[in-house]
Amino acid sequence: MKNELTLSLLLLSFGLTQTKDKQAISQPKDNLTEEIKDGPGSVTFPNGDTYIGDFKNGLFQGQGAFHVAGGEKYEGEWKEGEKNGEGTYFYSFGNTYTGEWKNDKKNGRGIYIYQFGEKYDGDWKNDKKVGQGSFTDTKGNFYIGEWKADQMEGTGVFTFKSGNKYEGKFLNGLKHGLGTFTYKNGDQYLGLFRKGNMDGQGTYKFKNGNIYTGEWKNGVSAGMGLYKFKNGNSYKGMFKDGRRNGRGTFTYPDGEKYTGDFKEGKRTGQGTYSYQGGHIYKGGFKNGMKNGRGTLTYPNGNTYQGEWEKDQKNGQGIFTYSKGGKYDGEWINGKKNGLGIFNFVNGDTYKGEFVNGEMEGTGTFSFRNGNQYEGKWIDNKMMGQGIFSLKEGHIFEGDFSDGKLNGQGSYISAFGDFYIGEYQNGKMNGRGVYKYKDGSQYNGEWKNDNRHGQGSFIFENGDRYIGEYRNGKMEGNGSYTFSNGDHFKGEWSDDKRNGNGIFSFINGDKYLGNYKENRMTGQGHYDFKNGDQYDGQWLNDKMMGQGTFIFLNGDKYSGNWTNDNREGQGSYFFQNGNEYHGNWENDKREGLGILNYETGEKYEGEFLNNKISGRGKHMFINGDIYSGEWENGERTGQGIFTYIKGGTYSGEFIKGFFDGRGTLEYSNGDSYEGHWKKNVKDGRGTFNYTNGDTYKGNWENNKRDGLGNFVGMDGNSYEGNWLKDYAHGQGTYYYNNGDKYKGQWEKDKRDGRGTINYVNGDRYYGDWKRDQIQGKGTFTSASGDKYDGAWKKGQKDGHGTYIYSNGEKYIGQWKNNLKDGVGHYNYQNGYQYEGNWELGKKSGIGILSTSNGESYSGNFLADKKNGFGSFTYLNGDEYHGEWENDAKNGHGILTVSNGEKYEGEWKNAKMEGVGQYNYKNGNSYSGEWENNLKNGQGTLTYVNGEKYMGQWKNGDMKGIGSFQYLNGDHYSGNWEKNKIHGQGTFTYSNGNNYEGEWESNYKSGHGTFKTLANGFTYEGEWVEDQKNGKGIYTSSFGDKYEGDFLDGKMEGKGIFTSSIGDVYTGEWQNDKMNGKGKLTYSNGELYEGNFKNDQLNGKGDFTYSNGDTYSGEWKSDLKDGQGINTYSNGNNYSGDWKLGEMSGQGIYTYSNGNIYEGSFLNGLKNGSGLYKYSNGNSYEGEFFNDTFHGEGTFIYQNGNIYSGDFKQGKMEGFGTFSESNGKTVKGEWENGKPLNW
């Protein structure tokens, strides 16, 4: 449509340029010098031109015709030798101008007809179209309006042959300024144009009810705008190329809202979506759906932070529950799917597979009490094959449900019994086989680990009972197969059939019921082999008394029986739902009875041979009642039909219809007396209305039709034609107030041409539609005001002119008696407004020029600036955007004189909502504002490239936010007064990460620090960037410390677990074990005592894996100082230690009773010492490397004594041997033996 409009205007502009003709005709001043002519005459000039007409003082003056030798001609008025007044100019190429001239040029009104049929009719000035005029081109397009310098310029209306229409401003032949373009299909644009295109502020109303108000560029929406959908949706934000592009807000009628980036009309980029139920999502979008990284906060405080795809949680993500639970793992289509870890609030942990948000698949559940289940899961429950290990050692294996065996399973006890079968709630319940250690076997039902219910027990003799067990005994219902093939299943007593039971006979019959002494007596049900069934009383194997017999066709009889026949009172229930209750005789309905239909209707009366005949009453389902004559089941004859709502018909009936003469008294008091035909009024009749109205005349098919008179009880009356119960055609209506209408009617309403004369003297003549003034018409009031124009539903509606008694004048559109649409109003105070009106007030696009020179161009609402608009202030500031109640409200751009610029939302003339502010120093803020301060969500981008994205409060960073530092560091979390404060995550450029609490830019409180390079993790308390308080330190290779920290180091009390399983519990200082502690090694060894700088130091006790123990002093991880070492073989050492070895003085006691007391070196006896044997021998002297070596004395238990030299444990060298008898020998020894003795 845009192309058609532009092309048409271009063609029109080209056609208009052809009016620039050479007006060569004027009187040559030098050709009339011979004599001065006055009066009529003619003159022929040397060039062949000829003038025939009036002269005065030798000049053309008056009427005259000038013929140019080339064929052009002018006929008309002259003055002083120039064309002046009315005249027609015929141009050589076929154009013609007829109109006013002045000073030899076209001036005033005139009509210019072009060679090819174009036509201009309007004002001229100095040979150019200037003023009011109309133009029709060869294509049938038509323009009427203002002109300037041969171009359409000013206000005008351009009507296209296609049916489109433009009404508004023009410049240089093109649409330019404020205008309205109405499309043939019903669309309409009202706003600014530039160079022929929609450009600037404008409103486009689509025929489907959608409305766009905002900025346009080159014919399409571009810039800031508001798009309201018919269904209640709305979008306010940036447009580009006719689509949503850039930042904007999309609001839904149910309260949901999206604020963020758009691309090609869809949510794409970063944004925030607020859902109706209170959910809030902040993060990435793509093609209208959540995509990429994002955080969803639920109304109950739950949060999800992770990856999204196609509006669903997809990929890795963390779901944190407000009450403490947490899931970290994989997601697919919004649900937990894949591997993940779920930490429960109570300390339980599940690690394994998830499906559709539930624990499903294979997984391990570790209970905090030490039990463990490993196996299959379904719907968050232990369901399927699994193994449950109790800490006592018992093992259950099988199908699990709710943490217990439910279904098939097995149990192995320490006693040797074995059970396989069904479980319920962890106990034998259901069917199962239990094999006892004595060899017997039970196969059947169990209850709470006991035989109970149905079962079979195989005895030694091979007999089998199948039936009920109770308290371990066969009791109650049972099944017994007789040797002859008959089978009974039921109640037993005293080994006889007594009570209820089922007996299947070998001939095919079957009886279910009561037995007494083995015969059918009492209540019972019998299935005959022919398909019939009987349920009732029996006596001696026959139906007798009350009983119900169901036939093979579905009918049922319930009543009295005598010798297998129906007789007397009984009820018969038909297959179609009808019921008969009454007398029976010879198996037929006869005499009085009641027939209830399945529809709810009821008949009471006489029956004959199974049919309704005679007198009777029929009660219908709606409450109506007929009482009268019947024949073969139909109402025929005289009768009375009484309606439940109060009406009554009394008269003739034929086959159920009112037919013939009759009177119908209506429930509301109306009455009709006359002719009827098949239940409708037809023919002549009189209808008296309960309110006093009366109609007398013709009826057809229950309606007034033809000539008739209606007299109302209120004094109004109508006489004339009727059609199908309506006044229709020509007629006259006399009003009770004296008004009178005479004219056309259609369906009880004035419709067509008509005149109404009011009793007060007002008069209207013109068109009527549906009882209202509508169309073209003229209204003259008694006060002298006059309106001439369009009407709709009795009110001024459409284009019209209203001339007020005070001299003010409005020309334009009307709606509902008010100015509505495009119009021009001249005020007495000099203000002028040109634009749109609504409900009598300036509303829509308009231009208001004030007396002080300021101007506003844009939208109005109820006489106030409202919507999009531009205001130019006296101080040079400019605002371009939305207004409400004469104040900046909504989205707008403020350009201030110092060069700063704000673009965003306003409220009550203040920056409030989402907006971007560009500062003089190069910084830029984009986000939410309140009361001219940054409040809410926003991004501050610094000139050096750093960026803060998050929440603000009164101009300060406060709340949740993230900061991207210049060096690559990144923080995401809470802020307070422009500082990191509260919960947050700091990711360093080297990959390290801290997640936890902060205070004034310092890590303070509880937090977790992870290093990327070595994989170390610390989780615990912090103070001013240092680890202080309780914490847990974990290394990448499995070491773990849990305890106290001070100034970033392990200090205080803590537990350290190494990757190989060593565990230290005790005191720490300066990142090392210092002070009292207990170290348990993975091999079972244990040290408890003092530590220094990660080493055993000071007093301590050590228990070795082989059973040895040491209690004493340590130094640098070695026994050093005084200590006692007790060996697992019974030996014991108490004394000095050095560098882990026995060194110095000590006592070594052997398990065999030997004792050494003396010097040690490097773990061996070295130096002086005394060695006492348990048999009484002893050695006292020098030792070397654990042997007698050097000077020493060996005393035997028999009293002998050797005193002398020893070498490597043997007597060698010079020595004296003294016997107990006094004999003494001195000499040399070698290898423990004397030489030369």
Question: Per-residue pLDDT tens for 952-1010?
Answer: 999 999 988 889 999 999 998 899 999 999 888 999 989 899 989 999 999 999 999 99
Segment (H or E) for 995: strand 993-999
pLDDT reported for residue 256: 92
pLDDT of residue 459: 61
Asked, for residue 534, whether it belongs to a domain, the answer is: no
CA distance 946 to 620: 86
Q: At 38, which amino acid appears? A: D
Domain assignment present for 224: no
Report DSSP letters for 284-338, one per residue: EEETTEEEEEEEEE-TTS-EEEEEEETTEEEEEEEEE-TTS-EEEEEEETTEEEE
Q: Are 812 and 798 in contact (CB under 8 A)?
A: no
| Measured CA distances, 489 to 388, 456, 476 (Å) | 42, 15, 11
C-alpha to C-alpha distance for 206 and 220, rounded to whole angstroms: 14
Question: How many C-beta atoms surround the C-beta of residue 133 within 10 A?
Answer: 23
Q: Which amino acid is at 671?
A: S
Backbone angles phi, psi at 530, to 5 degrees: -85, 0
- DSSP, res 875: T
Note whether residue 299 is domain-resident: no
C-alpha span between 1164 and 1148 (Å, rounded): 11
- For the chain, the 3-state helix, strand and coil shares in percent, each to the nearest 5, are 0, 65, 30
Amino acid type, 727:
A
Query: Do the domain assignments include residue 266?
Result: no
Let me know if residue 398 belongs to a domain: yes
Range 916-955 burial, b when 16+ CB lie within 10 A, else e: bbbeeeeebbbbbbbeeebbbbbbbbeeeeebbbbbbbee
Beta bridge partners, 423, equal 407, 428
Are residues 741 and 755 in contact, defined by beta-carbon separation less than 8 angstroms?
yes
Count CB atoms within 10 A of the CB of residue 536.
18
For position 26, what pLDDT does the model report?
Answer: 52
For residue 526, what pLDDT is reported? 86
Burial of 162 (0-12, 13-18, 19+ CB in 10 A): middle
| Type of residue at 534 | Y
Backbone angles phi, psi at 1055, to 5 degrees: -120, 125
* Phi/psi of residue 702, nearest 5 degrees: 75, 10
Number of domain units in the chain: 1
Among residues 249, 25, 276, 29, which one has the least CA distance to residue 127? 25
pLDDT at 322: 87
Domain contains 367: yes
Structural domain of 401: 346-477
Give the distance from CA 1045 to its chain's centroid: 47
3-state DSSP assignment of residue 705:
strand
The DSSP code sequence of 997-1056 is EEETTEEEEEEEEE-TTT--EEEEEEETTEEEEEEEEE-TTS-EEEEEEETTEEEEEEEE
Which DSSP letter does residue 12 get?
H
How many residues make up the chain in this entry? 1237
Cα→Cα distances 151→11, 120, 802, Å: 12, 12, 31
In a domain, 333, yes or no: no
Q: How far is CA 615 from the centre of its chain?
A: 68
CA distances in angstroms from 1001 to 578, 818, 988, listed in the order given: 87, 64, 14
Question: 3-class SS at 661?
Answer: strand
In a domain, 867, yes or no: no
The model's pTM is: 0.41
pLDDT value of residue 481:
62
DSSP 3-state assignment of 220?
strand
Query: Residue 19: its pLDDT value, please?
Result: 40
Encoding tokens for residue 405? 């065996």
* Residue spans of the chain under pLDDT 50: 1-24, 29-34
CA 829 to chain centre: 55
Beta-bridge mates of residue 260: 248, 271
The SS3 assignment for 8 reads helix
Q: Are 134 and 152 within 8 A, CB to CB?
A: no
CATH number at residue 395: 2.20.110.10
In this predicted structure, what is the pLDDT of residue 397?
A: 83
